[in-house]
Amino acid sequence: MSKKFNLREFQTTLSQQLLAAATRDNTGSRLGFQVGEVSWLVNLADAEEVIPVPTIVKVPGARRWFRGVANIRGNLYAVSDFSDFMGQGVTPDHASCRLLIPHHDFGVNAALLVRSALGLRNVSRYQLRAEQGAHPWVARQYADDQGAVWCDLDFGQLLGNPEFLMVEA
């Protein structure tokens, strides 16, 4: 018999872990997530939360990467497919997909559709790479112990990017 998965308990535990991590010295801590075939990191202070994908209402006349709007706890959020926005193809609907929501201090009700959340990563154990990112919202790049490249997301650069803000087709 398979073990039952309690989503509410999982979310509560994850929320407690993120809260605890935010109160520690987390200069090297980042939240990892997958976008297409690329691994990304975001500073814990820049992310409000990561949630399962709710119902998204399509918006006519929008670019393909702009998935639409979602009601998240009574607030409307503009949902963008981060992979498709960067030209890496549409993120297929899957149970592992998540919405990454930037901290409310950014003043934008935006959410990024990502392929999956990868948990906490400590970049102090990673090697900083000298190469510049392909996009202005790539703050820096790291290589992990296996040599895999991780891009560090600068939410401020992304959310202020004119192309990202221009959702009409």
The average confidence (pLDDT) of the chain is 90
Phi and psi at residue 49, in whole multiples of 5°? Answer: -170, 170
- Is there a contact between 135 and 83 (Cβ–Cβ < 8 Å)? no
Q: Name residue 56's beta-bridge partners.
A: 70
Q: How far apart are CA 32 and CA 9, in angstroms?
A: 21
Which residue, chain included where needed, has tokens 């990191």?
A: 41
Q: What is the pLDDT of residue 25?
A: 46
Query: How far apart are alpha carbons 110 and 103 in whole angstroms?
Result: 10
pLDDT at 1: 44
Domain assignments of the chain as residue spans, ordered by start: 27-53+83-105+113-164
Indicate the pTM of the whole model: 0.81
The single-letter code of the amino acid at 102 is P
Q: Tens of pLDDT along 11-70?
A: 777 677 666 655 544 568 899 999 999 999 999 999 999 999 999 999 999 999 999 999
Note the pLDDT tens digit of each residue in 139-153.
Answer: 999 999 999 999 999
Q: Are 161 and 137 in contact (CB under 8 A)?
A: yes
Q: What was the pLDDT predicted at 119?
A: 94
pLDDT (average), residues 93-113: 96
From the centroid of its chain, how far is CA 140? 16
DSSP structural state of residue 4: P
Residue 75 has pLDDT above 80, yes or no: yes
Q: What is the pLDDT at residue 28?
A: 81
